[in-house]
Every structure is written in structure tokens, then in C-alpha cells.
């Protein structure tokens, strides 16, 4: 992830993500869950812009949504201290020993409560953007340390590429030589809270001594993807939260049925849902499948691809 200058403003694009693999190893004593997951960024972006002055000419800190995307978001994700962008900006300012300033404007395109990581990606974008706009000059490693304090997925978005993430998600191991995957994503109108999905899963306590039972499965998935064998990769893709999410949002099961009828290479839930995706044979296949899914009127449909 990077920021670019536009006149006297700065801009950063925040991608969504898909979980190509997600295993929940158990509940940790700190209340989090021990995870092992393969995350891939996709070309579906929020846009965060910093201006030195707000619309009223003030140089004091402000954070708001672009009017295009603000209709329902203000209630669902208020632009205040409860928002990850707000917290990211203030976290960086505190670390640098200076007050936050300027206007941050977020245009949302990534649906919320969908398992697409939009809030975490926005937080990563805020760190990168403020670091550049305020000329702080922190290294990527220093920013990643701040990112880990904000949320489990935020360090992944700082890495900017497909990665295996472990722990609660903060331990990021970038993966090279990944193919571009053509995907179709459907985000139902009903969202699922991450906490609700994990409660429904009711995972056992994590015992580090038991090791990672799914490690071989993940290794096989990575090998298949590197070889470009989507048929083989489909055998190893999984999401441990899918059954729990389906019980909370029944439309997930219907999406699985429709995707299965479209001849895609693989399909599953991303994150804790409610978004569902299919890996298609080609961009043309993705466009045809998206048309069918749009006609089903089950939610917002996105035709996109992974970022390498």
C-alpha cells in the first residue's frame, strides 16, 4: 500500500481481501482465536484522501465520509473514535508526538460486516497516508507495529500482497509467485459481526502443543496456486467459519448453491462473512457469472481479481 500526492492533497487506495483459506485453531486465553489463513487483496477499493484544509478552510483535524458513500455509513461506522481510520490517525500522531491535522475524506465502496476487511484496510491506508502527508517518515516496519495495535487484519494490508497470516492475524508472511485469480464477490444486504460468527463457532480452547492440523492442507493449497492449478487448489480451499456464518445468515447457503451451478473453480465464504466469492476460469466467465448472480438479487455483486 502506498500514498501518492495530488497537488496539495494525498490519496491512498485501500483494497478489500479474500480468505482463500481460514482455519480456526482454538480460543486463546486472551480472548482472541488462534488462526491460520491465506489472504489475498483484491481490486475492490475504498479511497482515502487527505487535504491540508477542510471545506471551511480550517487546518484542524477532521474525518468524514464522501457524500457519495455517507448515506447509511454514519450510523453503521461513525466517523469518530469508534472508527479505525480515526484511531489509526490519532495513533500515528501520538507516536510522532504531534497533533493530527488536515481533513481525511473516505469514500467507501467495500461493504461493511462482509468479511472483506474494509475497515482494516482503511486503517492501513490512514497510517500510510498520514505518514506521507505529515512527512513523518516512519519505516514500513514501524507502521506495521502501529497497525498490529489497531486490529488483526491491519498488518496484512500494510504488506500489500497475498500472505499467510497466523496468530490472531497479526503475524504476516508474504507469499510470492501467486497467480491472478478472476473472482466474483457477492455481499448480501445482511451483514455478520465477526464476534457473532466466532461465538456461533464455539471453538475449543487452543493448545499450542497440538500443532497445526491443517498445515498440510495449506501447504497443498499454496503449491497448487503456484503451479496455476485451480482445479487442485479448489480441493484445499476451506473456511472454518462458513457453517457458523450460514446459521446466522441463511442467504450464505443459497449463494453457495448458485455458485456451485455456475461452473466456478472454487467458491466459499470470505472471513466471517457475509460476503461469498467464486474463483472463475477466466475474466469472461466471471462477467457471465456476475450477470446471473445480479439477477438473483441477493446483494451487491463485484467482478474483480486478486492483486499479486
17 catalytically annotated: yes
CB distance 274 to 115 below 8 Å = yes
Is 119 assigned to a binding site?
yes
Residue 299, SS3 per DSSP: strand
What residues have CB less than 8 Å from 117, skipping those under 6 apart?
Answer: 16, 17, 39, 110, 153, 156, 157, 271
108 catalytically annotated: no
Is 115 assigned to a binding site?
yes
Distance from chain centroid for Cα 48: 15
Q: Return the closest-CA partner of residue 127 out of 102, 86, 92, 101.
A: 92
Element (H, E) at 46: strand 33-51
Q: Return the closest-CA partner of residue 196 out of 119, 268, 270, 248.
A: 248
Exactly one of 17, 23, 46, 108 is catalytic; which is it?
17
Is 91 assigned to a binding site?
no
Exactly one of 145, 153, 176, 202 is catalytic; which is it?
153
Is 112 assigned to a binding site?
yes
Is 120 assigned to a binding site?
yes
Is 129 assigned to a binding site?
no
Is 179 assigned to a binding site?
no
Q: Return the closest-CA partner of residue 213 out of 28, 36, 40, 33.
A: 36
Is 193 assigned to a binding site?
no
Q: Return the closest-CA partner of residue 126 out of 88, 79, 167, 160.
A: 88
For residues 246 and 254, give the distance between their C-alpha atoms in angstroms, rounded to a whole number. 9
Is 114 assigned to a binding site?
yes
Is 118 assigned to a binding site?
yes
Known binding residues are 111-121
Residues with active-site annotation:
17, 153
Known binding residues for ATP are 111-121
Amino acid at each position: 500500500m502506498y500514498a501518492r500526492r495530488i497537488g496539495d492533497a494525498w490519496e491512498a487506495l485501500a483494497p478489500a481481501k479474500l480468505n482463500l483459506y481460514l482455519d480456526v485453531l482454538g480460543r486463546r486465553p486472551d480472548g482472541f482465536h488462534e488462526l491460520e489463513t491465506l489472504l489475498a487483496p483484491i481490486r475492490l477499493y475504498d479511497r482515502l484522501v487527505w487535504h491540508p484544509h477542510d471545506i471551511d478552510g480550517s487546518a484542524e483535524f477532521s474525518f468524514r465520509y464522501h457524500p457519495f458513500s455517507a448515506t447509511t455509513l454514519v450510523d453503521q461506522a461513525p466517523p469518530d473514535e469508534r472508527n479505525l481510520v480515526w484511531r489509526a490517525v490519532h495513533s500515528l500522531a501520538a507516536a510522532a508526538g504531534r497533533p493530527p491535522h488536515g481533513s481525511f475524506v473516505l469514500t467507501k465502496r467495500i461493504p461493511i460486516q462482509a468479511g472483506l476487511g474494509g475497515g482494516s484496510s482503511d486503517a492501513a491506508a490512514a497510517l500510510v497516508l498520514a505518514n506521507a502527508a505529515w512527512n513523518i517518515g516512519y519505516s514500513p516496519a514501524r507502521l506495521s507495529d502501529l497497525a498490529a495495535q489497531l486490529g488483526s487484519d491491519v498488518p496484512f494490508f500494510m504488506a500489500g500482497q497475498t500472505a499467510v497470516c497466523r496468530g490472531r492475524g497479526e503475524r504476516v508472511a508474504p507469499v510470492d509467485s501467486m497467480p491472478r485469480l478472476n473472482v466474483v464477490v457477492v455481499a448480501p444486504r445482511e451483514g455478520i459481526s465477526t464476534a457473532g460468527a466466532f461465538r456461533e463457532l464455539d471453538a475449543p480452547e487452543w493448545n499450542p502443543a497440538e500443532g497445526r492440523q491443517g498445515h498440510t492442507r495449506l501447504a497443498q493449497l499454496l503449491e497448487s496456486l503456484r503451479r496455476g492449478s485451480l482445479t487442485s487448489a479448489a480441493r484445499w480451499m476451506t473456511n472454518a467459519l462458513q457453517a457458523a456464518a450460514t446459521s446466522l445468515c441463511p442467504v450464505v447457503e443459497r449463494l453457495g448453491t448458485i455458485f456451485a451451478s455456475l461452473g466456478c473453480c472454487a467458491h466459499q465464504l470470505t472471513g466471517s462473512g457475509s460476503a461469498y466469492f467464486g474463483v472463475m476460469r477466466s475474466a469472461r466467465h466471471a462477467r457471465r457469472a456476475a450477470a446471473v448472480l445480479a439477477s438473483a438479487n441477493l446483494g451487491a455483486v463485484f467482478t474483480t481479481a486478486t492483486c499479486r
